[in-house]
Structure 1
Amino acid sequence: MVAKPAAGGGRWADVEPRRLRRWLDGFYSRHDGAEEDGLKLSAANGDTAELLPPPGVTDVADIDGLLTALAVPRRLGFLLARRNAVAVGVADGDELVSSKVDTFYVQGRTAAGGWSQQRYARRRENQAAGAARDAADIAARILLPYADSLAALVCGGDRATVDEILLDKRLAPLLPLRHDRLLDVPEPRHAVLVEALTTAQAVRIHLVP
């Protein structure tokens, strides 16, 4: 289980689906039981745990429904992007069935001033725009053949870069599938994409305190 501070208080815990029952048993045991209200657990001492279904798991009203839904494999699309790289994939459950990773040259910032700085900035913007177009080509090639069967599109990396890629009109069918969570990933590589499969399928739990 991975736990990180949550904005506004408490912390986030990511629990793999296969470990969720054991985690729930531990919460009940540590708190001498707890009340369930939908996907939220409340203990007598004020501690709470709210479970957020992972991408592709919808229409679950309670914890029993969540556990049932998690047992059904889902097909997820992935778009991980930063300024210099993109990783796109489709996964059936834990298996990556299609993927493509690529890198792009986007010039870094320069310390030059005046006209030179403006020239370098324009060049960098043009390179970034070209990289976004190339990334959109990859996303269209990998994701669109599966668009009708995807349970969700999981994005990660730099939000501005991901948003720019998804502005491509060809990718419009994917927009309703985009999950709210943006995965925090390093520069996309194949290993990063594989790790994202596990991260995306975890159940996020907001723990207070």
Structure 2
Amino acid sequence: MEVSPERLAGWVERFSAAHGGCAAAVEAAAVEDAVVRLSATDGAVAVLEVPRPPLPPPGEEGPVAALARHAGASCTALLLLVRRGGAAVGLARDGALLDHASASRYVQSRTAAGGWSQQRYARRRSGQAGELATAAADAAVRVLHRAPGAPQLLVPGGDRPLLAAVLEDPRLRSAAALPRAPLMDVREPRLQVLAEAAQRCRAVRVRVSDAPG
């Protein structure tokens, strides 16, 4: 589930009340991978992802309040959504979509066929993927050139290999080096989906594991 920064404290209070109380702690294998883990008295666990890595040290306010404050802070994000049906790129700030561009190319799905046909199909698919990656990079360059300032966050969504291909474009070197939000699961990239992503990129993703037994 996704919880807005403004609703996060209330969600945690309800989780704690439903499970007999909980303790919050920051866990991280690396600074950019930090999450807030809620460990409930009854054994239930909730993991809160940081939508805008890295998470600053919580200090006296505690992990949940620090996460809510950080997620809700003003931020300009570059949205890069790519799937086999096309790509959409946008510039968002504080949940609002400021600018956008799109690229329409089709990449065929994989096939289980073998032999020469499979090789020919794979070459065609690779070519289509390359065309889409270039078109998506072109769209991103247009959005970045029109931007009044540099974005502070990269929000990727859709197909991971296609996104990686787009970000290999030398023109997007600075964008690829930005702090990166967790990969967003999206429908076929369209303007409406892009507008939704502008709001969703502020939200804290929550994974809940019920108490064992």
Same-fold call, TM cutoff 0.5 = yes
- The structure 1 segments of at least 4 consecutive aligned residues displaced by more than 6 Å after TM superposition are 108-114
Q: Secondary structure at the match of 2:92?
A: strand
Q: How far apart, in 2, do the equivalents of 1:117 and 1:191 lie?
A: 36
> Residues 47-196 of structure 1 correspond to what in structure 2 (within 5 A)?
47-55=44-52, 58-61=55-58, 62-106=63-107, 118-119=119-120, 121-143=122-144, 146=147, 149-179=150-180, 181-196=182-197
Match of 1:6 in 2: none
Which sections of structure 2, spanning at least 5 residues, go unmatched? 27-35
Match of 1:11 in 2: none
**Does the CA-based 8 Å contact 1:60-1:66 persist in structure 2?**
no
User: Cα 1:46–1:102, aligned 2, differ >3 Å: closer, same or farther?
Assistant: same
Q: How far apart, in 2, do the equivalents of 1:63 and 1:163 lie?
A: 32
The structure in which a higher percent of residues are strand is 1
Match of 1:10 in 2: none
1:4-57 CA-partner distances (Å, limit 9, x unpaired): xxxxxxxxxx21222212212212222333223343322222222232221256
Over the aligned positions, Cα root-mean-square deviation in angstroms equals 2.8
- Compute the TM-score of the two structures, normalised by the length of structure 1: 0.80
Fraction of identical pairs, as percent: 39
Q: Secondary structure at the match of 1:59?
A: coil
Q: How far apart, in 1, do the equivalents of 2:67 and 2:186 lie?
A: 26
**Does the CA-based 8 Å contact 1:79-1:88 persist in structure 2?**
yes
**Does the CA-based 8 Å contact 1:55-1:152 persist in structure 2?**
yes
Q: How far apart, in 1, do the equivalents of 2:120 and 2:71 lie?
A: 52
Which sections of structure 1, spanning at least 5 residues, go unmatched? 3-13
Q: How far apart, in 2, do the equivalents of 1:41 and 1:177 lie?
A: 28
- Compute the TM-score of the two structures, normalised by the length of structure 2: 0.78
Q: How far apart, in 1, do the equivalents of 2:10 and 2:90 lie?
A: 30
User: Cα 1:195–1:140, aligned 2, differ >3 Å: closer, same or farther?
Assistant: same
Q: CA deviation at 1:123?
A: 3.8
1:158-180 CA-partner distances (Å, limit 9, x unpaired): 11111111110110101121525
Aligned residues: 197
User: Cα 1:107–1:48, aligned 2, differ >3 Å: closer, same or farther?
Assistant: closer
Match of 1:42 in 2: 39
